[in-house]
Chain A
Amino acid sequence: MEVTNKIPEPEAFELSAEQVPSTRFTDHNEIIIEEVTRNHKLLHRHRLKQNNVSIGRDYNNDIILTDPHICPQHLSLNYVQGAWQLADNNSVNGTTLESENTKQSLSEQRTVNDGDVIVLGKSQLRILFSDHKVAETVAFSPFESLIDIVRNPIAVFISIALFMLIAANISYLNQQTAINISQIFVSAFSMSLLFALWPAGVALVSHLTKHDPRILAQLGISFSFFILMWLSDLLEKVISFNSASNSMLGIVITLLPIALAFSLFWLNSYIGFHMPAKRRLFIAFAITSLLFGGSYLLQYSKKPEFNPHPSYNSTIMAPPFLLAPSSNVDEFVEQSNKLFDKASKAAQAD
C-alpha cells in the first residue's frame, strides 16, 4: 500500500494530449486546478483560462464542490498583475494555503504559487500552472515484456491448470487408501482457490489504493511462481536423495525457495503499485523475512528441549531419480565412525 506525504507529480501521459511543447508559450493567466484527496490522489482536474475563478457549493461557481463544510461562495482566485491572488469570502470554516513548506490559514489576500494546495472544508485543491515541471518519463523495464506474457489470459489459464495438476498429483501421492478421483479433484480445486487468494488480495489492495488492480497479471505471475517453487522443491528432494549428509549442495538449494519468494513479492509490488525502487526492494524483503523468519521461529519454539528420536534425512525417490553413484560399506562405516566423537562431545557438553 502506498502512503505518500508528498504530492505526486501529474503523470506525463495525462498532460501530453494538451501539451504541444514547441508552440506553447507561458501565460499564467491559464490555471490548472486539481481536486485531490487527503492522500493527494487526483479526483478531478480543471483547466481554466479566465481572470477570475470562483469556488464554492453554489451552482454559479466556476468550480462546484459538494463538501458540506464548504460555503456556497467560499473563495475566489483573481489574476492581478501577472499573479494569482487567493481571497476567502468570510467562509465559516476558513481556508488554508499550504505551500511547499509553510502552512497558514488565510486572513488576507495571498499570492498563490505553482504547486500550492488550498484546503477548504474537508477538500483539497492543488494549483498548477501550465509550465509546471513534470517528472522524467519512466522507461518500460524488462519485466514489462515478461508481465505481458504472463497476463495473457491463455498463459494465466495454463499456469493455473498446471498448478492444479501439480496439486492433484500431490494429493494423489498422499492418499493412503484406494484412489478416489473426485477427492483428488476437489482437493486440487480448493488448493488452487486457496493459492489464488494471494494475487487476489494484492490486486484488491492495489485497487483500494487507487492503482490499477491488474488481476490477470497478478494471477499469472503468482501461479507461475507457485509452479517454480514446486519445481525447486522437487529439485531439493532430488538433491537430498542423491547426496550424502555432508554435501554442501543441499544447504545451497534450501536458499532457492527464499530467493523465489522474494522475486514473487517484488513482482507483485511492481505490478500492483508505483513506488521508488528502494521501497519496493524493502517491502519484498520485509514480506519474505516475515514469512520465512516467522515459520522458522514457529518451528524453533515447538522444538523440544531434548529429542529422544533421531532426526535424519529419509528422502527416497523412485529409481529414475537416482543419479549419484553409491558408496561401499567400508566408506559408509568410516563416515559413520565420525559420529561417535560428535555424540561423545555432545554428551560431555552438558
Chain B
Amino acid sequence: MKSLFAIFFMLLSSAIFAKESAEEIFAQLTPSLYQIKLIDKASGEKSSIGSAFQISADGIIATNYHVISSYARHPEKYRIEYLDHLGNTAQVSLVSVDVINDLALVKRQVSKDMPFFSLSDKKPSKGEQLFALGNPHDLGMIVVPGTYNGLKKESFNERIHFTGSINSGMSGGPVVNKLEQVVGINVATSGNQIGFLVPHEKLVNLFDSYLASPPADIKQQMAAQLLANQEKLMSALINSTWQSKELAGNAMFPLIDVPFIRCWGDSNADKTDALILAAVASCSLDENTYISSHFFTGSVEIEFRYMQAKDLSDNKFYHLYQQQISRAGAGNRAGKDDVSEYQCHHDLVMPESTANTSQEINNKSVFCTRAYKDFPQLFDVLYLGASIDKDQQALVSHFTLAGVSQENAMTFTGKFIEAVSWK
C-alpha cells in the first residue's frame, strides 16, 4: 500500500514537472517566436500564415518554404511580414530556401543583438520528450508536448516522426528538447497525433551555406536544388537492383529494390461478372516536393496491369483494353504557369533482351514529356507500354516521373522497357 502510494506520487510529480517545464520553455523562448504572414499587395490582407523562429542575433528567422512559397514564386505580388509576441509587425526579406526540405530563411532588421534559438548538435533519442511551438489556425502561440519517434520509415528525404498534435499554422515553428535546443521544424501532419518534422541538421546546413555564400537568386537556387535532388533520386533508382517479379503468373515486371518505393497490389478476382480479369501492381514514392499549392514535383509512380479476357472475342477484348490505356495522366499537379503542354511520341517497340525467346513481348509504347517553365532542365515524363502480341492477354506497363532531367528520364525509360516481358 505504501509503495503503491509512492508510485502514484511519483507519477503526479512527474506530470507537474512536465507541465512546469513546458510553461518555462514557452516563457523563455517566446521573444524569438514569430508568426509569418504573406500579405497580398493588392488587397493588403494576409493570404497565408505560418510560424517561425529566430536563429541568429542579427535577425535571421527560419520557417517552412511552403509558408512563403507564394512569395518565392511571385515576389511582385506579395510581401512577407512578421508578427512578434508584443504584436509588432514589420517587413522581412527572403534570403535563402531549401525547397527539398521545405525550409526558408528570412531576415528582419534589428537595432541590437536579440535572443535566438540555439540549434541542437545531436539527434534526440527515441522516446525523448519534445515541445512543438507554433501558432495553429491563427489562435495564438502555443506549446505542444510530444514524443520523438525516430525518422519516418523508408523516407527518401528524412522526416522526424513526432507523436503530438501539429496543426496548420504551426508550420515553420520550432520543436525543442528540454534544453531548449531546436531539434526539428514542424512541417506536416497526417492527423491523430502523427506529426512530421524536418530534422534540425537540414536547417544547420542551410544556415551554414547561407553564411558562407548567400544565394544571388532564389529561383536559381531552387532550380539547382531540384536538379541535385532528382539526380540523387534517379541515380538511386537506376543503380539499385531491379528484381524481376511475376504478375498473375504470366508476366514479369521489375521491382525496384529501394526502401522508399512502396508497392501495393489489387485484382478484381472477386468480381465474377467482370469481362476482363485484371491484376495490378503499383509502386510509388510516398513523398513529393512542394513548389506551390498548385505545383508539386519529385513524384514517382510505376504501375503494371495484367489483363485476361473472359469469354470475349479478341476484337472486343482489344476494344475494352484500349479504353483502359487511353487516359493516362500526369503523376503530379502542375498548371499553365508552371509547365508546357505534353509532347508525345508513339511507336511499336519490341525489347531486344527478350526477342526470339518465350518471354518475347511486343508493345505499343507511348512516351510524353512536358518542360518546366521556371526550371529549364527539368521535365515531367510519362511512359505507357501496352502489349499487342497476345489475343486474350494484355500487359500494361506505365510510369510517371516528375521533375527529372532528360538524361535520367531516358536512361530510366530504356531500362524500364527492357525489364518488362511475358513469363
Verify A337–B347 contact, CB threshold 8 A. no
Verify B315–A245 contact, CB threshold 8 A. no
Verify B318–A316 contact, CB threshold 8 A. yes
Residue-by-residue, is A310-328 near B (CB-CB < 8 Å gives 1, otherwise 0)?
A: 1111111111101011111
**Quick one: closest A residue to B355, CB to CB?**
A328
Verify A343–B370 contact, CB threshold 8 A. yes
Q: Chain B, interface size: which category?
A: 35 or more
- Is A24 located at the chain interface by the 8 A CB criterion? no
Verify B379–A340 contact, CB threshold 8 A. yes
8 Å CB interface, B302-345 against A: 314-322, 325-330, 334-336, 339-345
Query: Which of B59-67, B126-134, B382-390 participates in binding chain A?
Result: B382-390
Contacts A316-B388, A344-B371 hold; do A173 and B343 have CB atoms under 8 A apart?
no
Report B394 CB to chain A, min CB distance, Å: 9
- Is A242 located at the chain interface by the 8 A CB criterion? yes
Verify A306–B336 contact, CB threshold 8 A. yes
Verify A316–B321 contact, CB threshold 8 A. yes
**Bound complex: CA A329 to CA B318 (Å):** 24
**Bound complex: CA A325 to CA B333 (Å):** 37
Query: Which of B88-96, B255-263, B409-417 participates in binding chain A?
Result: B409-417
Verify A310–B319 contact, CB threshold 8 A. no
Q: Which of A241, A326, A332 meets B362, CB within 8 Å? A: A326
Q: Chain A, interface size: which category?
A: 35 or more
- Is A174 located at the chain interface by the 8 A CB criterion? yes
- Is B269 located at the chain interface by the 8 A CB criterion? no
- Is A336 located at the chain interface by the 8 A CB criterion? yes
- Is A307 located at the chain interface by the 8 A CB criterion? yes
**Bound complex: CA A337 to CA B43 (Å):** 45
Contacts A316-B321, A316-B364, A319-B389 hold; do A340 and B371 have CB atoms under 8 A apart?
yes
Verify A328–B343 contact, CB threshold 8 A. no
Residue-by-residue, is B240-265 near A (CB-CB < 8 Å gives 1, otherwise 0)?
A: 00000000000000000000000000
Verify B275–A318 contact, CB threshold 8 A. no
Q: Which 7 A-B pairs have the closest CB atoms?
A: A310-B342, A306-B336, A326-B350, A347-B371, A346-B340, A347-B340, A343-B371
Sample 29 A-B pairs with CB under 8 A, ordered by A number. Answer: A174-B319, A307-B341, A308-B329, A309-B327, A310-B328, A310-B329, A310-B330, A311-B342, A312-B344, A312-B366, A313-B344, A314-B386, A317-B318, A318-B315, A319-B314, A319-B391, A322-B388, A322-B389, A325-B348, A327-B347, A327-B350, A332-B349, A336-B413, A337-B410, A339-B344, A339-B367, A339-B368, A342-B343, A344-B340
